[in-house]
Amino acid sequence: MIFILSLNYYSNVFSSSSGEALDNFTKKQYELLFESNLSNISGEYGDIFDISKKKDTFNNIADSIKKSRESVENDNEIILSKITNLEESKKEIEEDIKNVLKKIQDLSLASAQLKTDIELNEKKIELLKQKIEENKKILLEYLEYMYKKGNTAYDGIQIDNLKSIILNDEDISSVINDLYFNGLIQIAGKNLIDKHMKFIGELYVQKVDLENKKIEYAGIRKQLIIEQKNLKDKREFQEKLLKISKNRQQEYEKIIAEKLKTENKLREITAE
47, 216 in Cβ contact below 8 A? no
Task: Let me know whether 117 and 239 are in one domain.
Answer: yes
Q: Is the pTM of this model over 0.85?
A: no
| Per-residue pLDDT at 240 | 81
CA 195 from chain centre, in angstroms, equals: 60
Within a domain: residue 80?
no
Within a domain: residue 78?
no
Render each residue's pLDDT in the chain as its tens digit; 272 residues: 443 444 444 444 444 444 454 445 444 444 444 444 444 444 444 444 455 555 555 555 556 555 555 555 555 555 555 555 677 777 888 998 999 999 999 999 999 999 999 999 999 999 999 988 888 777 777 777 766 665 545 555 656 666 666 666 555 555 555 555 445 555 666 677 778 778 888 999 999 999 999 999 999 999 999 999 888 888 888 888 788 777 776 776 676 677 667 666 656 665 55
Task: Let me know whether 28 and 89 are in one domain.
Answer: no
d(CA 79, CA 256): 10
Task: Let me know whether 23 and 90 are in one domain.
Answer: no
Task: Let me know whether 266 and 177 are in one domain.
Answer: yes
d(CA 250, CA 257): 11
- Split into its structural domains, the chain has a count of 2
Amino acid identity, position 12: N
Task: Let me know whether 20 and 90 are in one domain.
Answer: no
d(CA 164, CA 161): 5
d(CA 116, CA 109): 11
The parent domain of residue 6 ranges over 2-36
